[in-house]
A and B are shown apart, each in its own frame.
Chain A
Amino acid sequence: TQLLEQSPQFLSIQEGENLTVYCNSSSVFSSLQWYRQEPGEGPVLLVTVVTGGEVKKLKRLTFQFGDARKDSSLHITAAQPGDTGLYLCAPAGYGNKLVFGAGTILRVKS
């Protein structure tokens, strides 16, 4: 059920740069979650977006849910090495089932 497309697959940037990663689908979702997985750990929830057009901020991270609730973006301002990890999106709409996109690997170099 790979209905989700995350882009880019891999991003390597310098500390202090800004970046945006995307999660796209042709399906409409009731909500969407973003998780971050650090090396050697399981994924941890960052945010859930629910309303079309919703914007949520978590310190330097800004999450947006598309107006049509088919896509979402995550923008990081002034990236830091601690932001390094795998960013995964997971939409709701499959009942109890929880599926993920393939993720974006972010590497922030100091």
Chain B
Amino acid sequence: DVKVTQSSRYLVKRTGEKVFLECVQDMDHENMFWYRQDPGLGLRLIYFSYDVKMKEKGDIPEGYSVSREKKERFSLILESASTNQTSMYLCASSWGRGGTEAFFGQGTRLTVV
């Protein structure tokens, strides 16, 4: 059974903290994605990676960075968390170019206080 695992379901952090969200996939997928999901806005792409150490900005990269040192792991970093980054964060992975199935983790509900 294919699996994308996010390290935490719920996370509460203080404003200004550095926050790491981890995602691991066991399908040897080339592509990995980070999205944030807010009511009425669907899934907005923050960053994606199509290979180890390769990354590209999505639609809303400001305030975030990513790291992909190993193929199976993709980390999202909030350098200095702010309250407007309170959201649901979803990680996904897929293989090949667009049009292939993406598999999602269950999400991390991050609250910044």
Q: Which residues of A contact B (CB under 8 A)?
A: 1-2, 6, 9, 30-31, 33, 35, 40-45, 48, 50, 86, 88, 90-103
Q: How many Å from the CB of A107 to the closest CB on chain B?
A: 14
* B-chain residues with CB within 8 Å of residue A48 when the two chains form the complex: 99, 101
Q: Residue B33 at the A interface, CB < 8 A? A: yes
Q: Which residues of B contact A (CB under 8 A)?
A: 4, 30-31, 33, 35, 40-43, 45, 48, 50, 56, 58-59, 90, 92, 94, 96-99, 101-107
Whether the pair A43, B98 counts as a contact (CB closer than 8 A) is no
Whether the pair B92, A96 counts as a contact (CB closer than 8 A) is no
| Consensus secondary structure, chain A interface | loop
Q: How far is the CA of A37 from the CA of B43 in the complex (A)?
A: 11
Whether the pair B98, A45 counts as a contact (CB closer than 8 A) is no
